[in-house]
A and B are shown apart, each in its own frame.
Chain A
Amino acid sequence: MEATQVLFWFIAVVTILSAGIVAFSSKLIHSAFALLATLVGFAAFYVYLGADFLAVAQIMIYVGGILILIIFGVMMTHRIYDTSKRTAHNSLILSLLGGAAMAAILGMIIFRSPWTATVFKTLKPTTSMIGTSILTNYLLPFEVISVLLLGALVGAVYLARREEDEE
């Protein structure tokens, strides 16, 4: 077994384990911190796939942005830090059944399908390629997203704004 492979398995185990903690931990703050490990693990996988830009983006956006926001939210919410409020596991058996079925089917497909993607290719920086694509072939999605964000902004402002003359 090569070093890269060892590393891969290590990251895989860490990612899955931390994802398990996210799902099953009884304390919110534990889940939040475990999510950190999961997300970083994913970034590592992207590196393995040669997607350098994606890996950096993953860390910057998810870890640097979203996760911090979540932890802030958890910490700043009054007294949530030391409550041990459990998330409800109403139908554990059904959930396990569903999860198992999903895993079975997806696994079957993953191992039996003729994927077209090439597995090995030389690593080279992808950032400039992505940049070129965004401004040529994928210009429209790029521009449309800006309108989407504008709309989301308007909506967020509306929801967050304190109405002076209402109630």
Chain B
Amino acid sequence: MNNLNSLQYFLPELFLSASILIIIIVDLLLKKDKKIITAYLSVLAVLVAFFLAYRQYNYAFTSLFEGMIVLDSFAVYFKVLTALSTIIVIFISMPAFRRHSEYYILLLVVTLGMFLMVEVNDLLMIIIAMEMVGIISYVLAGFNKFNMKSNEASLKYVLYGAASTGVMAFGFSYIYGLTGHTNLFAIQQAIVGHSLQPLPVFIAFVMVVAGLGYKIAMVPFHFWVPDVYEGAPTPITAFLSVGPKAAGIALFIRFLITVVAHPASQTTFIQNVQIQAPLLLAVLAVVTMTLGNVSALGQKNIKRMLGYSAIAHVGYMMMALVVFNTRGFTAIMFYMVVYMFMNFGAFWVVQSMTPHLGSEDISAYKGLGYRHPLTAVAMAVFMLSLTGIPPFAGFIGKVYLFAAIIKQNWYTLAVIGVINGVISLYYYAYVIKVMFLDRDEEIKAISVPLYDRVLLWLLLIPVLALGVYWGPLIDLAHNSIGFFFGN
């Protein structure tokens, strides 16, 4: 479809862009102590974009802007998800960031970047969309500019990001060199049609994986994660571990099922060229979750612990990438939603409790179960859900992930996954133990504002509800991936 006609299908993104400009202008007119209004406007903007995106669900598959991006249910699913993550993160940030409208403007730009990331269909657009998310994230990670740790985190993020983007671009140049196209579908046709040699495709694939792996914090491209997660402001840490990660995984899946493989039968994908992609992904998944979990074990700082655990969860999700069928992708898409709620929940507890506890150390949570039971119970639920203990949503998510790989006889992978689950129980349960079993002689009750409690409930309810009733969501995910087979 040509550029002009494409605009009608580009409403969410257009609306976001317009909102960014408007909010920048509104910001100029606001007094210093009224800057919080931009936060409200941002929520509104993302909310509208959310609904505009949602309306696009079940549109027929459309290729937009001369094939630069595509509009399909898969993209819409992730657009809705990422928009939701932005909304949540704005709510999480509001109490702490009241004076900087730039913060919210930047979040909107990232959201636009994430929208593009999940619908790209061209190598060039992949780089631009990823950089859009990346560059703005660098600034956000260093947003506390008087905090040395935040600065350091930002700088490391920049350097590491630059390196990995370079590697990925180099990989793209290989792909372009091999096929002569930048459009993903054209690349798919070329690879299948010319039956290329596996080796260069494989190396190009590895390079691209390096770039994507950096975005989703996959081992061995994860080195930036702990430093950045610890140094960045807590809401941004939470955001980085959900929103951009979801977009990265969407992009990863899209790359896998166009460049690496193509739809074959009703539910499975066949590789374009026989390369060891599944094995590579399996090894990466194992390394990622094991390193994430094992590193999280002895952490004293809760944000760093959650950072490592975020790496581990990427590993869990990657397990289901290896099977190359709808079951696996559906499981990932479902898990991403579940993970969003439980992870945001855990980070929100950290964010709202840090001022009361005075520290981000796990030991500071001592006796929280007696000081503010609701928060502690909610935190316990998030921890148990992250571990994957029934009846919480995390369990259901894990069941689908494991079911997907066991169906395809990846038993070793499943066993390693389960062992990792057991390891993770140690550090998640440790938080619970500290909150409930250790207590001070004197209990100093914490009073938590209504806003904090309401937000806590809003994050808690999905974790509980999805643990007992998840049918519609899994259907939605399944339906979204199904379009690749034309249904």
Q: Do chains A and B touch in the complex (CB under 8 A)?
A: yes
Chain B contact patch, size range? 35 or more
- Residues of A within 8 Å of B199, CB to CB, are 108-109, 112-113
A140-B125, A154-B102 as given contacts; A116 in contact with B135, CB under 8 Å:
no
- Which residue of A113, A115, A155, A157 is within 8 Å of B135 (Cβ)? A155
- Say yes or no for A117: interface residue by CB 8 A criterion: yes
Complex-state Cα separation, A136 to B132, whole angstroms:
22
- Say yes or no for B69: interface residue by CB 8 A criterion: yes
- Which residue of B6, B65, B129, B178 is within 8 Å of A115 (Cβ)? B178
Q: Is the CB of B136 within 8 A of A139?
A: no
- Say yes or no for B156: interface residue by CB 8 A criterion: no
Complex-state Cα separation, A145 to B136, whole angstroms:
13
Complex-state Cα separation, A145 to B125, whole angstroms:
10
- Say yes or no for A144: interface residue by CB 8 A criterion: yes
What mask results when residues 111 to 154 of chain A are scored 1 for a CB within 8 Å of chain B, else 0? 01111110000000000000000001111110011011011101
- Say yes or no for A82: interface residue by CB 8 A criterion: no
- Residues of B within 8 Å of A140, CB to CB, are 3, 6, 64-66, 68-69, 125
- Say yes or no for B106: interface residue by CB 8 A criterion: yes
- Residues of A within 8 Å of B109, CB to CB, are 147-148, 150-151, 154
- At the interface, is chain B mostly helix, strand, loop or mixed? helix
Q: Is the CB of B142 within 8 A of A109?
A: no
- Say yes or no for A166: interface residue by CB 8 A criterion: yes
Q: Nearest CB to that of B127 among chain A residues?
A: A141
- Which residue of B20, B122, B138, B143 is within 8 Å of A147 (Cβ)? B20
- Say yes or no for A2: interface residue by CB 8 A criterion: no
- Say yes or no for B116: interface residue by CB 8 A criterion: yes
What mask results when residues 69 to 102 of chain A are scored 1 for a CB within 8 Å of chain B, else 0? 0000000000000000000000000000000000
Q: Is the CB of A116 within 8 A of B179?
A: yes
Q: Nearest CB to that of B202 among chain A residues?
A: A109
What mask results when residues 143 to 183 of chain B are scored 1 for a CB within 8 Å of chain A, else 0? 10110000000000000000000000000001001111000
Q: Is the CB of A109 within 8 A of B203?
A: yes
- Residues of B within 8 Å of A105, CB to CB, are 203
Q: Is the CB of A114 within 8 A of B180?
A: no
Shortest B15–chain A CB gap in Å is 13
Q: Is the CB of A117 within 8 A of B180?
A: yes
Complex-state Cα separation, A20 to B300, whole angstroms:
42
- Residues of A within 8 Å of B261, CB to CB, are none
Chain A contact patch, size range? 20 to 34
Shortest A50–chain B CB gap in Å is 16
Q: Is the CB of B66 within 8 A of A136?
A: yes
- Say yes or no for B100: interface residue by CB 8 A criterion: yes
- Interface set, chain A 32-55, CB cutoff 8 A to B: none
Q: Is the CB of B116 within 8 A of A144?
A: yes
Q: Is the CB of A148 within 8 A of B135?
A: yes
- Say yes or no for B200: interface residue by CB 8 A criterion: yes
Q: Is the CB of A154 within 8 A of B24?
A: yes
A145-B128, A154-B105 as given contacts; A115 in contact with B112, CB under 8 Å:
no
- Residues of B within 8 Å of A158, CB to CB, are 100, 102, 106, 139, 143, 145
- Residues of A within 8 Å of B412, CB to CB, are none
Complex-state Cα separation, A116 to B186, whole angstroms:
14
- Which residue of B68, B143, B174 is within 8 Å of A141 (Cβ)? B68
- Residues of A within 8 Å of B140, CB to CB, are 155
- Residues of B within 8 Å of A145, CB to CB, are 128
- Residues of A within 8 Å of B180, CB to CB, are 116-117
Q: Nearest CB to that of A105 among chain B residues?
A: B203
Complex-state Cα separation, A121 to B66, whole angstroms:
27
Q: Is the CB of A117 within 8 A of B132?
A: no
Shortest A12–chain B CB gap in Å is 19
Q: Is the CB of A117 within 8 A of B177?
A: yes
Q: Is the CB of A157 within 8 A of B68?
A: no
Q: Is the CB of B131 within 8 A of A148?
A: yes
- Residues of A within 8 Å of B203, CB to CB, are 105-106, 109
Shortest B232–chain A CB gap in Å is 14
Complex-state Cα separation, A116 to B122, whole angstroms:
18
- Say yes or no for A3: interface residue by CB 8 A criterion: no
Q: Nearest CB to that of A108 among chain B residues?
A: B199
- Say yes or no for B359: interface residue by CB 8 A criterion: no
- Residues of A within 8 Å of B354, CB to CB, are none
Shortest B353–chain A CB gap in Å is 24
Shortest B75–chain A CB gap in Å is 15
Please, could you name 25 A-B residue pairs with CB atoms under 8 Å apart, sorted by A? Answer: A106-B203, A109-B199, A112-B197, A112-B199, A113-B178, A113-B197, A113-B200, A114-B196, A115-B178, A116-B179, A139-B65, A140-B64, A140-B68, A141-B124, A147-B112, A148-B131, A150-B20, A151-B110, A151-B132, A152-B136, A152-B139, A156-B139, A158-B100, A159-B139, A159-B142
**Nearest 5 interchain pairs by C-beta:** A155-B139, A151-B109, A140-B65, A116-B180, A158-B102
Interface residues of B (CB under 8 A from A): 3, 6, 17, 20, 24, 64-66, 68-69, 100, 102, 105-106, 109-110, 112-113, 116, 122, 124-125, 128-129, 131-132, 135-136, 138-140, 142-143, 145-146, 174, 177-180, 190, 196-197, 199-200, 203
Interface residues of A (CB under 8 A from B): 105-106, 108-109, 112-117, 136-141, 144-145, 147-148, 150-152, 154-159, 166-167
Extra A-B contacts (15), CB below 8 Å, given A116-B177, A147-B20, A158-B143: A113-B199, A136-B3, A138-B66, A140-B6, A140-B66, A140-B69, A141-B124, A141-B125, A147-B17, A148-B109, A150-B20, A152-B135, A152-B139, A155-B138, A159-B139
